[in-house]
Homo-oligomer: A and B are copies of this chain.
Amino acid sequence: MPLIVTGTVGIDTVYTPDHGHRENVLGGSCTYFAAAASFYCKPVRVVAAVGEDFPPELRQTMDRFEGIDHAGLEVRKGSKTFRWGGKYLDNMDQRETLYTDLGVLAEEPPAVPKAFRDSRYVFLANTHPAVQLGLLEQLPQRRLAVADTMDLWIETARPELERLCGLIDGLVLNFDEAEQLTGKRNTVAAARRILDLGPRFVVVKKGEHGCLIVHKDGIAALPAYPTEEVVDPTGAGDSFAGGMMGALAREADADESLDPSAFGAIHRAVAHGTIVASFNIERFSLDRLATLTRAELDERYRRFAGMVRFG
């Protein structure tokens, strides 16, 4: 059953401390999410907008991933595609934004096509929570809805974000955003406070330190996959979410009796997200996902399971 993602398709320029830079490469939350999710379930439906400047070669890269339905990708005449430039600092876990050209992001949000309204698994990538609420309303048949957010919305749109939290099954955010949202420094305490707003689970991302799942039925912690190959962390969070949601949709499709927001299902899905994100950061942009195989994913997943399992 279909997985849908709403977010951005953009053009990125990325500078890294050790691996040079890349200009005008494919980026955006939807792009990373959909590419990652496409390894686990089909179709992955994309709702986003680009301008008429969106280069055909970037569109070709997007089309290399099988099973992604771009019927919800609006190409707007007279508009500009979202562009972002960033520079990773020495530790690769922090970055500076060099520029942000909002382009279509400053316009009306894209609509959910009628044919997408029966989507069952919903991921609302990071955008203004009022927009996320509007998109969610257009997806009445959803079985599982998860949202991402960021510091900007916590600061400027808290009431809408809290309303959103009352309507979704899960929230994904960074550890510092969890603290900002709740005033709690301790990550477990912060996540528990977020559960009080409504979601059944929270996934707190800690970058190279992995993530924490705080669920109404339990807590789990996962390290990141330990790797020496980190070229470009851009899209790590979105590919993580794509792997997670794709794995959840696949598992729930295989077993109709499974509750896709159940603790065990989320735990396994987060492990899949961890693995696909660990591949994504090995090259710039979508380059690594473009050559990735299901066999490589499966092998690293098994290896990861062995790395964290003791006793």
Q: Which residues of A contact B (CB under 8 A)?
A: 90-92, 185-189, 192, 206, 208-210, 212, 214, 218-228, 230, 267-268, 270-271, 301, 305, 307-311
Min CB–CB distance A15 → chain B (angstroms): 16
Evaluate contact between A223 and B212: CB separation under 8 angstroms.
yes
Evaluate contact between B226 and A223: CB separation under 8 angstroms.
no
> Chain B residue with minimal CB distance to A214?
B226
Residues of B within 8 A of A224 (CB): 221
> Chain B residue with minimal CB distance to A307?
B220
Evaluate contact between A210 and B226: CB separation under 8 angstroms.
no
Residues of B within 8 A of A307 (CB): 218-221
- For the complex, give the distance between the alpha carbons of A228 and B267 in Å: 20
- For the complex, give the distance between the alpha carbons of A42 and B223 in Å: 33
**Known contacts A209-B206, A210-B209; A226 and B188 CB within 8 A of each other:** yes
Secondary structure at the A interface, as helix, strand, loop or mixed, is: mixed
Q: Can you offer 10 A-B residue contacts whose CB atoms are under 8 A?
A: A186-B230, A187-B208, A188-B226, A189-B228, A209-B223, A210-B210, A220-B310, A267-B310, A270-B310, A308-B308
Evaluate contact between B310 and A226: CB separation under 8 angstroms.
no
Count this chain's copies in the assembly: 2
> Chain B residue with minimal CB distance to A184?
B228
Residues of B within 8 A of A91 (CB): 185
Residues of B within 8 A of A228 (CB): 186, 188-189, 192
Evaluate contact between A311 and B186: CB separation under 8 angstroms.
no
**Known contacts A308-B309, A310-B268; A185 and B92 CB within 8 A of each other:** yes
Min CB–CB distance A36 → chain B (angstroms): 18
Q: List 6 A-B pairs, minimum CB-CB distance, nearest first.
A: A221-B223, A209-B209, A271-B310, A308-B308, A189-B228, A188-B228
**Known contacts A91-B185, A186-B228, then 11 further A-B pairs from the complex at CB < 8 Å, ordered by chain A residue:** A188-B226, A188-B227, A206-B209, A214-B226, A220-B307, A221-B224, A222-B308, A222-B310, A223-B223, A308-B309, A309-B309
Residues of B within 8 A of A311 (CB): 268, 271, 301, 305
- For the complex, give the distance between the alpha carbons of A171 and B32 in Å: 39
**Known contacts A209-B206, A209-B209, A221-B210; A226 and B308 CB within 8 A of each other:** no
Evaluate contact between B209 and A219: CB separation under 8 angstroms.
no
- For the complex, give the distance between the alpha carbons of A228 and B212 in Å: 13
> Chain B residue with minimal CB distance to A267?
B310
